[in-house]
Structures are given as structure tokens and as C-alpha cells.
Amino acid sequence: MHKRIGDTCGLSPITLVPNLFGYLPRTALALCFAAALLLCAPAQAWGPVGHQTVAMAARAQLTPEALAHLQELLALEPGSTLGGLSTWADEHRSPETAPWHYVNFPQADCNYRPARDCPDGQCIVAVLEAQLRILASRASPPARLQALKWVVHLVADVHQPLHAGMAEDRGGNRYQLQFLLRGSNLHALWDSGLIRHMGLDAPTLAARLARQFWPSSPGSVSVRAAAEESCRIARQPGFYPDALVGADYIVAYSPIVEQRLWLASVRLAALLNRALR
């Protein structure tokens, strides 16, 4: 019987499917997968850990064909890696592209309506769909490489619940709190605070998630559906904590962070496998 994760906390379930290599025990196969992840990149700074974790875990799930096409694009910038590209969009953020990283929903409605939620096409849902089309097209290699940089970053962003937050508090940026005796805000807590509390660098975290969850079905690979999932998580009772974040919040929501990171990696791999053919 397949095991499902995410049936609680408003997540779409991830189905853990039987592995395709019947002659290998599941445990051994997962350990091989995790070991490959640990070898794929050096330890990185804490700031971009979430994005690098998603990219590293996704790379290990690419088909040989997609991986070959990925390497062709990466060769345009010698020495680059998928993990390295994952933070490019933040490093090159501008006033024009800042809205590309999120979408705002009304407080009581997580159903994406383009005319209401993205009327100018400058939100994460519309931009990510557009960049996926460029990546899968016959555009020039440099144009497709830039699209890849956006795709690998925005797929991770759309799985962070507060990137589908509310305009009133700027996706939790205005919701002030204290975490581990330091001033912060809810958006920063989800972007990096809960991940930093795990005490792992990106390769180690990616490998741990692989041991926990691999292999997994992506379910829907709809950008819109992923944004709606994130919105529903951010609207749950208790998601907005008391001003002083306690251990109970960390215990309750760290597994959700892990599930969202892993699901982002599975869906990113599925999207790249489709686009890089």
C-alpha cells in the first residue's frame, strides 16, 4: 500500500510510490540517492539553503535526457550548477522583477483568479508559466538559460506559503515576532529561520529529505495549484504565531517546511523533465 504524506496541515498528499528497481531494497536505493546528493555540491551559506536544497534534490531526479540538455545550458556559463543558479533571481532582483516572486490572495479565498490576483501578469504564477514556455521552446540558448534561472528559483518560491500570502501584511513581512530571542518577521521565519534551526547545509538537507520521502509522485505540476496549496497553508489557524515563537510552533511547522521543500524538488524535476526534451 502506498504511503501518503501531507494529509494533514492542508497539504496536498504526496504519494510515495514503489521504486522502479525491484532488485534493490528500497532502503538501499534511498541511501544511494542520498549519497549522490551529498556529493553534488559543497556546503553553502545559510541564506540560500532552501533554494539550493530544492535544486539539488531536483537534479538527482532528472531523466538522463533532461540532464544532458541541462548540462548543455549550464555549459554557457562554465562552472555553473543547478544549485548555484537557484539564487540568481534573488541576487538580480529589481523593482521591476520583485513582484515576480509572489502572488497575493484575499484573506478568505485561495482560488487563483488571474483578473483579480494577477491582472498585469506580473505575479509568480503568470511569470513562472511564461518562463516554462521559454525554457521548452526553440528560443536561443542564452534565453533558455535565463528562463532556467527563473524556473528553478520560482518553483521553490511558489511552495513557500508566504509567497502566496496577503497584500495587507506583505506576505508576513509586516508580522513582527521574536524567534530564538531575536527580532524577526513571519516571512523571514519561513524563508530561513525554520530551515536554519535544522542546522543543516543544503546538500545534507537535500539528502535527508531524499531518505525521508523518495521516491514521490509530484501529483499536479500546475503552478496555479501550487500557489493555491501555499495559500491554504498560510491561512490555517495557528500559522500566524504569537509574537514569541515557541518550541511548539517549530515542532508543528518544521515538518511542513520539509514537505514543501521536497515537493518543490519533485515538481521542479517533473517540469524540467518535460521542458528539457
**Alpha-carbon gap, residue 22 to 51, rounded angstroms:** 32
Whether residue 50 is contained in a domain is answered as: yes
Question: Is the pLDDT reported for residue 21 higher than 50?
Answer: no
Cβ of 107: how many Cβ atoms within 10 Å? 11
**Alpha-carbon gap, residue 53 to 194, rounded angstroms:** 14
Pairing of strands 176-179, 14-16: unpaired
CB 54 within 8 A of CB 268: yes
Whether residue 225 is contained in a domain is answered as: yes
Q: 143 Cβ partners below 8 Å, 6+ apart?
A: 134
Mean pLDDT of all residues in 238-265: 96
Mean pLDDT of all residues in 12-38: 40
Q: What is the per-residue pLDDT for 181? A: 86
Whether residue 14 is contained in a domain is answered as: no
Whether residue 28 is contained in a domain is answered as: yes
Question: Is the pLDDT reported for residue 271 higher than 50?
Answer: yes
Q: What is the per-residue pLDDT for 266? A: 97
pTM score: 0.85
Pairing of strands 176-179, 244-245: parallel
Which has more pLDDT, 15 or 232? 232
Confidence grade of residue 111 (pLDDT, cut at 50, 70, 90): very high
| HSE-up of residue 222 (Cα within 13 Å, Cβ side) | 9
Confidence grade of residue 48 (pLDDT, cut at 50, 70, 90): confident
Q: What is the per-residue pLDDT for 235? A: 97
Question: Is the pLDDT reported for residue 39 higher than 70?
Answer: no
Pairing of strands 3-5, 176-179: unpaired
Mean of all residue pLDDT scores within the chain: 87
Whether residue 9 is contained in a domain is answered as: no
Q: What is the per-residue pLDDT for 22? A: 32
Q: What percent of the chain has pLDDT over 70?
A: 83
Tens digit of each residue's pLDDT (9 = 90 or more) over 6-18: 433 444 445 443 3
Confidence grade of residue 237 (pLDDT, cut at 50, 70, 90): very high
Task: Return the DSSP state at 246.
Answer: -
Whether residue 12 is contained in a domain is answered as: no
Tens digit of each residue's pLDDT (9 = 90 or more) over 85-102: 999 999 999 999 999 999
Q: What is the per-residue pLDDT for 259? A: 96
Tens digit of each residue's pLDDT (9 = 90 or more) over 161-207: 999 999 999 999 999 999 988 999 999 999 999 999 999 999 999 99
Which has more pLDDT, 95 or 1? 95
Number of domains in the chain: 1
Q: What is the per-residue pLDDT for 214? A: 87
In which domain, by residue range, is 240 found?
24-37+46-275
| Cell output for 61 | 531526479
Which CATH number belongs to the domain containing residue 161 in this structure? 1.10.575.10
Question: Is the pLDDT reported for residue 224 higher than 60?
Answer: yes
Which has more pLDDT, 71 or 14? 71
Q: What is the per-residue pLDDT for 28? A: 42
Mean pLDDT of all residues in 112-129: 98
